[in-house]
């Protein structure tokens, strides 16, 4: 009996070995992750440089020195004529003229050297008179001893002149302007 049982058991095992196995399907490949559509690249806006007058380029032109009927004058401009004039006038007064400016009650002068008479340090508004010309100009007069004139002479290589209706001038601080002031102070 044991033999019969053993044979039966062997037969059962043999048949089980021959029976087809349950086939598991091969693993499915993982689905590819869905890539979001590329987002359009927005250009980064270029930074607008903050350029103050002290870093702005010098205006086109050169200084020239000449003598007028009223006294010495220094003119800054191109071959087409001056755009700014510093002139010695009667009574030891210095006349500052922004050529091309037709209106506006103020002529603003900016320097890197602070005149003693201002608390702001670098800008000074001067009451000015519009002169119709030709050429039109905005003119202000100050005493030859005014510290603003020294600030113009000793400004770090440049000073700025501003008037309504015309572009700002960035003018090099060359000796011609200082010469007019010195001659007018004598």
* Domain span holding position 135: 62-185
Task: Please check whether residue 48 lies inside any domain of the structure.
Answer: no
β partners of residue 110: 123, 160
Task: Please check whether residue 166 lies inside any domain of the structure.
Answer: yes
CA distance 135 to 12: 123
Ordered per-residue pLDDT tens for the chain, 186 residues: 565 555 655 655 555 555 556 667 777 777 777 777 777 766 655 544 446 888 899 999 999 999 888 889 999 999 888 999 999 998 889 999 999 877 778 999 999 876 544 444 478 999 999 888 788 899 999 999 999 999 998 888 899 999 988 899 999 999 999 999 999 998
Does the reported pTM lie above 0.85? no
Task: Please check whether residue 55 lies inside any domain of the structure.
Answer: no
Q: Which residues contact 2 (CB under 8 A, 6 or more apart)?
A: none
Task: Please check whether residue 19 lies inside any domain of the structure.
Answer: no
Q: Treating both helix axes as pointing N-terminal to C-terminal, what angle do 147-154 and 175-185 enclose, rounded to 10 degrees?
A: 150
Task: Please check whether residue 54 lies inside any domain of the structure.
Answer: no
* Spatial strand order in the sheet of 72-78: 62-67, 72-78, 81-89, 93-99, 137-143, 129-131
Task: Please check whether residue 39 lies inside any domain of the structure.
Answer: no
CA distance 107 to 76: 16
Domain count, the chain: 1
Task: Please check whether residue 147 lies inside any domain of the structure.
Answer: yes
Task: Please check whether residue 100 lies inside any domain of the structure.
Answer: yes
């Amino acid at each position: 009996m044991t033999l019969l049982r053993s044979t039966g058991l062997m037969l059962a095992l043999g048949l089980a070995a021959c029976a087809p196995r349950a086939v598991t399907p091969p693993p499915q490949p993982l689905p590819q992750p869905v890539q979001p559509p590329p987002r359009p690249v927005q250009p980064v806006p270029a930074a607008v440089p903050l350029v103050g007058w002290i870093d702005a380029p010098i205006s086109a032109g050169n200084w020239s020195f000449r003598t007028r009927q009223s006294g010495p004058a220094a003119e800054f401009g191109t071959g087409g004529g001056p755009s700014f004039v510093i002139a010695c006038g009667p009574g030891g007064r210095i006349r500052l003229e922004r050529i091309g400016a037709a209106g506006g009650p103020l002529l603003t002068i900016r320097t890197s050297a602070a005149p003693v008479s201002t608390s702001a340090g670098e800008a000074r508004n001067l009451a000015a008179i519009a002169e119709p010309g030709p050429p039109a100009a905005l003119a202000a007069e100050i005493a030859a001893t005014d510290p603003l004139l020294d600030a113009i002479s000793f400004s770090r290589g440049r000073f700025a002149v501003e008037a309504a209706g015309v572009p700002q001038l960035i003018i090099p601080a060359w000796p011609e302007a200082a010469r007019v002031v010195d001659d007018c102070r004598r």
